[in-house]
Amino acid sequence: MNKTDRLLAIVLELQRKNVVRAEDLADTFETSVRTIYRDMQALSEAGVPVVGAPGSGYSLMEGYFLPPVSFSVEEAVTLLIGTDLVEQAFDPTYGARAKASQRKLEALLSEPVRQESARVRSAFRLLDTCENTIQGQVLAYMETLRQAILSHQKVRFRYQKSHPGHDGRRESVRDVAPYGLVLARGSWVLLAHCDLRQDIRNFRLSRMSGLTVLADSFTPPDQFQLASYKPQDDRHLLVRIRVNSTIADKVKESNNFFIETMEEHPVGTLVTLRVRQLEEILSWVLGWGAQVVVIEPQSLRDRIREEAEKMLQHY
């Protein structure tokens, strides 16, 4: 980044935030703090009202605003594809706003940039960005949950989940304090504090039913930050399987959450997974049929044999 581009980017960064330290600007633009000091001096000499407070950082004088800047083709394409994703993957309210934002952005572009960005976008197409069940009920739940998160209102829903040692799925009623929504591997997940478990839990929207907003309000914990939150990893059960090389690519493309490593060997591809319980991958392993062999643990080998015998009885 040359000096002119960096000076413009610094002004935009100051405009976006109230106060910014020289050290943070140096990290952002990958330069030295001394260079940032010189940049601030250059901006002041150019008439930009930069205010420096020792020990705090730099800010712009109140009321100063840099007019909109032009977008490059790459920047315009990035933003327009972003609106396409929001329109497709979010609830109807934000979908409509994404469409409106797209029209406004296109109106700001010069004719050459607009034509070139349209040409570049024609080479991209978003398909199946979310699971099929995102349509309909799940989209409605997204909007309800988003409003509950912003208003700090608890919600109640019925939740279906597989339990080890039980046939089929079990349903429970959950009252939760919703903290945020996460799009993980094509599925929308609610991160919330569960009254039943007295801890933070993840809930797939596709497994919910009967969602209602409660009158009870909650106060989010001060230390909680959705962007930096990492759930405790309790996947302590190691599983190793051997995959026939003819389907190794398909196994990799399945993007299974529990896969840790895949290693090519003369006898096939060795796949290592870590799970909380065998039920989490039992159906996935069975789905590959004879193309997959479980190496360990023995308990999973036994389960596969039991399921295979049950299947044989049907034929």
Task: Identify whether 67 is part of a domain.
Answer: no
Q: Write b or e for each residue in 149-159: b if 16 or more Cβ atoms lie within 10 A of its Cβ, otherwise e.
A: beeebbbebeb
Range of the domain at 40: 3-60
Q: Indicate if 45 and 81 belong to the same structural domain.
A: no
Task: Identify whether 229 is part of a domain.
Answer: no
The CATH number of the domain where 36 resides is what? 1.10.10.10
pLDDT tens for the chain, 315 residues: list them.
Answer: 788 888 888 888 888 787 899 999 999 999 999 999 999 999 998 888 999 888 889 998 887 766 666 788 888 888 888 988 888 788 888 888 998 888 888 877 888 888 888 898 888 877 655 555 456 788 889 989 999 999 999 999 999 876 555 555 688 999 999 999 998 777 789 999 999 999 999 999 989 999 999 999 999 888 888 888 887 778 899 999 999 989 999 998 888 889 999 999 888 999 999 998 898 899 999 999 999 999 999 999 999 999 999 999 988
Q: Indicate if 117 and 148 belong to the same structural domain.
A: no
The pTM for the full model equals 0.66
Q: Indicate if 165 and 210 belong to the same structural domain.
A: yes
Distance set, CA 242 to CA 223, 261, 276, 292, 308 (Å): 43, 12, 20, 6, 18
How confident is the model at residue 135, as a pLDDT? 65
How many whole angstroms separate alpha carbon 244 and alpha carbon 292? 6
Distance set, CA 3 to CA 38, 40, 69, 264 (Å): 10, 12, 17, 48
What number of residues does the chain have? Answer: 315
Task: Identify whether 152 is part of a domain.
Answer: yes
Of the candidates 190, 179, 256, the residue with the CA atom closest to the CA atom of residue 222: 179
How confident is the model at residue 128, as a pLDDT? 58
Structural domains in the chain (count): 4
Q: Indicate if 252 and 204 belong to the same structural domain.
A: no
Q: Indicate if 140 and 209 belong to the same structural domain.
A: yes
All residues at 6 or more sequence positions from 222 whose CB lies less than 8 Å from its CB, including other chains: none
